[in-house]
Amino acid sequence: MSSVNPLMPQQATILDITEETPDIKTLRVVGKEGMPFDFMPGQCAMLSVFPVGEAIFSITSSPTCRECLEFSIKDVGSVSGALHCLTPGQQIGIRGPYGNGFPIDQMKGKDLLFIGGGIGLAPLRSLIGYCFDHRQDFGHIDIVYGARSPADMIRKSEVRETWRQEPDTSVYLTVDAEFPDWDGNVGFVPNYVSELAFTPGNRVAVTCGPPIMIKFVLQALEKLKFSPEQVITTLEMRMKCGVGKCGRCNLGPVYVCKDGPVFSLAELNALPAEY
Amino acid sequence: MKKVIAREKLPELWAHLAAQGPLYLPIQDGPVVLFQPWAEGAEVNLDAVNSAVSPKDIFLPREETFMHYRTSGRQLEMTPVEANEPVTAFGVHPCDLKAIELLDRVFLDQDPPDALYQNRRDKTTVVALSCREADPFCFCSDFGVDPADAPGADVMAYLTDSSLLLEARTEKGKALLEQSGDFLADASKESFSGKEVTTADFNLQLEGLAENLKERFDDPVWDQLYKSCLGCGVCTYVCPTCYCFDVEDFGHEAEGERFRCWDSCMYGHFTEMAGGHNPRPERKERVRQRFLHKLQYYPEIHNEIACVGCGRCLRSCPVNLDIVQAIKALGGETVEQC
C-alpha cells in the first residue's frame, strides 16, 4: 500500500487502571515502544477492544507526561463497557491523535478559567496539566469543577489537593446536592459560575461537560460579558474513522473529529446547531 | 493509441482481461444491470444506460476487511490485509467516473489519504464508455458532465453497432491496450468521437445554490420536504457520490477481522452516541443532512456540488424524494421570465 492505512490501530498495553467513581475508570496506556504518538491537549484517540469495536476518547494526561497516555472513561456504551472489564497487562488497539486540540497559542499570556462537569474534566485535565508545566506562559488560573456528588468527582486528590497548591491558581468545587462531609459549594456548575462573577478581562474560558451543562455555562458566560471569541468548548459526536471521511461527525463544512472537537463559541455560532 | 474490436470478439477480450485480475463490467443480473466481476457466461450489457448501483464499490467496496486480529491471553496481534490484484473497471459512464473524481477529493486529496481507497484506485484501470443514449432521468449535463466523454478515463471507449473503439488516454490505459494486443486491431487512422446525447432538462438553477443554502438550515421547507421519506436509505446505496462508511469487527475474542462497510446518514443509528444522545434523531434532520451535504457542505469544501446527475435516486426512490425534488424545493429552479 502506498500510504499508511489511517484506520489501522497499533498495539498498546494497559499499565494500570484506577477506579475514579462508580462508573468511571482511568486507564494508563503505553505503546510498543513508550508513547504511542505525540499529541496536544484536547486531542483524542481511538481505542479498540476486539471483537467489540472501537470508540474515540479524549486523552486526559498532559503531553508533558512522557510515560504513557491516560484515558478517563465512563461506562456508557459497548466499547467503554468492554474497556471497564479489562485488567492491567491487557493489550488493546490504539490510533491517533485526532482532532485540533485546544488553541494554546491564543491562550498564552491570558488568565484562564476552566469550567468542567463530571467526566468533562477529562480533556480539560490534559490542558490544565500542560498549563501548570508551562506556568510562566499563562496568567491566573481558575478551575471550577462540579459533579453530581463528591463520589462522582474524578481525579479527586488532584482537584481537592494538588491543584490548589499550584501557584496563582484557584479551585472551586461544587456538587449538585448536600452530602455529609462535603464542605464545598452546593449547586449546579452554571449557577456557581454566575455567583463567582468572573470578569471577562484578559480571560479565556474553556468549558467541557454534559451538553446541558455546557448550554447553561455558555449562557452564564454571555451574561458575564464574555465575548464568543473568549469562550472555548468541545463537541462530542459519534465517530468511526477519526480522519474526516466516514461522515458521522459532519457538521456543515466541518468534521468534528478533524476540525474539532475544540471550537470557540464564535466558531460554534457559525455552524448548524446539530450536536 | 487507438484500437478497435468487433462486438462478437468481446468475450475473448473479457476472458483475457479477467485472467489478469478482477474485471468489472455492467452485467445483466435478472431485471437490473450491475457492475460485477466478469465470469464465463456473464451477460455483459454495454448498451445499458446506467447500472442500478454505481460502480463506486470497485473503489469503496460494500464490505472491505482491512485487518485480522488474534489474541492469546493478554497478547493482541493485528495484521493488515490489502488488495493486491490489478483491477479493470470496464464500461464506466462519464457521470460515474466524474463521481469517482468527487470521491478522490475526499479520499485522496484530504489529509490523511485513505490508503484502502488509494490502493484500489492505483491498481484499477478505468475504461470509460461514452453514452449512446440517455434515459428520462439522466441529467448529467447540469453538472458539467459530457455524456460522450470522460476526461479522467485511462481508456475511453466508444460503442458502435458493430464494434468497440478504444482510445488510450494514460500510461495505464496504454499498458492495458498493449497487453490486449492479440485481440485488438489498429485504429490509429480513425477519428473517435462520442455521439451527441441530449439529457433531461429539469430547469435547474445550480449557480449560487450552495451560497443561498447557508441561510436555509432552519427554513420551514425542511418541515415538509422530509415527510414522504421512508428512511430506507436506497438513495445513499445507489448514489455514486455517497461515501459514508462504518467500521465494525466480526469474530470472537480469540480471532476475527475488522472491516469497513457502507453506511447511510439516512439511518438513525448513524449518529446515535453511547448513552443515547442523537444529534440527528428524526428523518427531518437526516434528510436535511443528506441534501445539504451534497448541495452546500461538500461544495463549501470542494467548490463543486456532490451530484453528477446520474439519475439513480430518481429511478430508485420509492417516494420520489430525489435530488431534483430537493433542489427545486430549495429554490434551485429556473423561473421563467414573463
* Each residue's pLDDT tens digit, A138-176: 999 999 999 999 999 999 999 999 999 999 999 999 999
Closest in B112, B272, B297 to A253, CB measured: B297
**Set of cell numbers at residue B212:** 443561498
Q: Residue B201, SS3?
A: coil
CB pairs under 8 A between A and B: 136
Strand ranges (E), chain A: 10-21, 24-31, 44-49, 53-58, 69-74, 91-98, 111-117, 141-147, 169-175, 185-186, 203-208, 231-234, 250-251, 254-255, 262-264
Pair B170, B45 in one domain:
yes
Question: Cβ separation of B74 and A237 shorter than 8 Å?
Answer: no
Pair B218, B116 in one domain:
no
Report the chain A residue with the minimal C-alpha distance to residue B281: A274
- Please count the other Cβ atoms lying within 10 Å of the Cβ belonging to residue A119: 23
- Reported as a single tens digit per residue, the pLDDT across B98-136 is 999 999 999 999 999 999 999 999 999 999 999 999 999
Pair B227, B145 in one domain:
no
pLDDT at res. A193: 97
pLDDT at res. B99: 98
Q: Which of B56, B64, B78, B242 to mutate to test the interface with A (most CBs of A within 10 A)?
A: B78
Pair B166, B132 in one domain:
yes
Pair B47, B176 in one domain:
yes
How far apart are the C-alpha atoms of B57 and B51, rounded to whole Å?
12
pLDDT at res. A275: 86
Pair B46, B158 in one domain:
yes
- Reported as a single tens digit per residue, the pLDDT across B287-296 is 999 999 999 9
Chain B positions touching A55 (Cβ under 8 A) are 274
- The conformational region for residue A247 under phi > 0 = left, psi -120 to 50 = alpha, else beta, is left
- Reported as a single tens digit per residue, the pLDDT across B226-273 is 999 999 999 999 999 999 999 999 999 999 999 999 999 999 999 999
pLDDT at res. B130: 96
Chain B positions touching A73 (Cβ under 8 A) are none
Q: Residue B192, SS3?
A: coil
- Reported as a single tens digit per residue, the pLDDT across A175-204 is 999 999 899 999 999 999 999 999 999 999
Band (pLDDT 50/70/90 cuts) for residue B23 is very high
Closest in A51, A238, A245 to B253, CB measured: A51
pLDDT at res. A178: 95
pLDDT at res. B2: 95
How far apart are the C-alpha atoms of B8 and A264, rounded to whole Å?
65
Question: Cβ separation of B301 and A89 shorter than 8 Å?
Answer: no
How far apart are the C-alpha atoms of A187 and A115, rounded to whole Å?
14
Chain A positions touching B217 (Cβ under 8 A) are 272
- Residues sharing a CB contact under 8 Å with residue A71, sequence separation 6 or more, in sequence order: A26, A27, A29, A45, A47, A57, A58, A59, A60, A83, A122
Pair B156, B224 in one domain:
no
- Please count the other Cβ atoms lying within 10 Å of the Cβ belonging to residue B190: 12
**How high is the mean pLDDT of chain A?**
95
Where b means 16+ CB within 10 Å and e means fewer, B43-59 reads: ebbbebbbbbbbbbbbb
Closest in B71, B274, B285 to A76, CB measured: B274
Question: Cβ separation of A51 and B118 shorter than 8 Å?
Answer: no
Percent of chain B with pLDDT over 90: 92
Chain A 158-217, residues with CB within 8 Å of chain B CB atoms: 211
Pair B241, B285 in one domain:
yes
Q: Residue B5, SS3?
A: strand
Tell the residue number behind the cell numbers 447511510, with chain if given.
B264
State yes or no: pLDDT of B276 exceeds 90.
no
Q: Are A142 and A168 in contact (CB under 8 A)?
A: no
Question: Cβ separation of A8 and B253 shorter than 8 Å?
Answer: no
Tell the residue number behind the cell numbers 488493546, with chain if given.
A92
Domain A104-234 is in which class?
A: alpha beta
State yes or no: pLDDT of A3 exceeds 90.
no
pLDDT at res. A124: 97
**Does a structural domain hold residue B163?**
yes
Q: Which of B71, B277, B288, B290 to mutate to test the interface with A (most CBs of A within 10 A)?
A: B277
Question: Cβ separation of B80 and A8 shorter than 8 Å?
Answer: yes
Mean pLDDT of A6-14: 97
Chain A positions touching B69 (Cβ under 8 A) are 50-51, 93
Pair B150, B270 in one domain:
no
- Reported as a single tens digit per residue, the pLDDT across B305-321 is 999 999 999 999 999 99
pLDDT at res. B336: 60
**Does a structural domain hold residue B176?**
yes
pLDDT at res. B335: 67
Where b means 16+ CB within 10 Å and e means fewer, A62-90 reads: bbebeebbbbbbbbbbebbebbbebeeeb
Band (pLDDT 50/70/90 cuts) for residue A2 is low
Nearest to A101, CA basis, from A49, A39, A47:
A39
Please count the structural domains in chain B: 2
Pair B41, B134 in one domain:
yes
Pair B125, B217 in one domain:
no
- Please count the other Cβ atoms lying within 10 Å of the Cβ belonging to residue A140: 15
Domain range for residue B269? Answer: 209-245+262-329
State yes or no: pLDDT of B25 exceeds 90.
yes
**Set of cell numbers at residue B226:** 422530509
Strand partners for B35? B26
Question: Cβ separation of A7 and B271 shorter than 8 Å?
Answer: no
How far apart are the C-alpha atoms of B142 and B156, rounded to whole Å?
22
A84 touches chain B (CB under 8 A): no
State yes or no: pLDDT of B324 exceeds 60.
yes
pLDDT at res. A211: 87
Question: Cβ separation of B107 and A11 shorter than 8 Å?
Answer: no
Closest in A55, A90, A248 to B274, CB measured: A55
pLDDT at res. B338: 56
- Reported as a single tens digit per residue, the pLDDT across A38-83 is 999 999 999 999 999 999 999 999 999 999 999 999 999 999 999 9
Report the chain A residue with the minimal C-alpha distance to residue B251: A51
A109 touches chain B (CB under 8 A): no
Pick A10-98's CATH classification: 3.40.50.12280, 2.40.30.10, 3.40.50.720, 3.40.50.920. 2.40.30.10
Alpha-helix residue ranges (DSSP H) falling in chain A: 78-84, 104-107, 121-133, 156-160, 189-196, 211-223, 256-259, 265-269
Band (pLDDT 50/70/90 cuts) for residue B337 is low
**Does a structural domain hold residue B34?**
yes
**Set of cell numbers at residue B147:** 455524456
State yes or no: pLDDT of B206 exceeds 60.
yes
Pair B7, B154 in one domain:
yes
Chain A 50-69, residues with CB within 8 Å of chain B CB atoms: 50-55
- The conformational region for residue B15 under phi > 0 = left, psi -120 to 50 = alpha, else beta, is alpha
Q: Are B249 and B255 in contact (CB under 8 A)?
A: no
Its pTM stands at 0.94
Nearest to B116, CA basis, from A246, A49, A247, A51:
A246
Pairing state between β A203-208 and A185-186: unpaired
**Set of cell numbers at residue B26:** 455492467
**Does a structural domain hold residue B35?**
yes
- Residues sharing a CB contact under 8 Å with residue B24, sequence separation 6 or more, in sequence order: B35, B36, B37, B38, B55, B58, B87, B88, B89, B90
How far apart are the C-alpha atoms of A148 and A161, rounded to whole Å?
19
Going from N- to C-terminal start, the domains of chain A cover 10-98, 104-234
Closest in A6, A53, A274 to B285, CB measured: A274
Closest in B106, B107, B118 to A2, CB measured: B118
Strand partners for B89? B24, B126
pLDDT at res. B190: 83
- Please count the other Cβ atoms lying within 10 Å of the Cβ belonging to residue A168: 11
Mean pLDDT of A264-269: 95
State yes or no: pLDDT of A1 exceeds 60.
no
State yes or no: pLDDT of B195 exceeds 90.
no
Report the chain A residue with the minimal C-alpha distance to residue B262: A246
Q: Are B158 and B147 in contact (CB under 8 A)?
A: no
Closest in A1, A9, A90 to B115, CB measured: A1
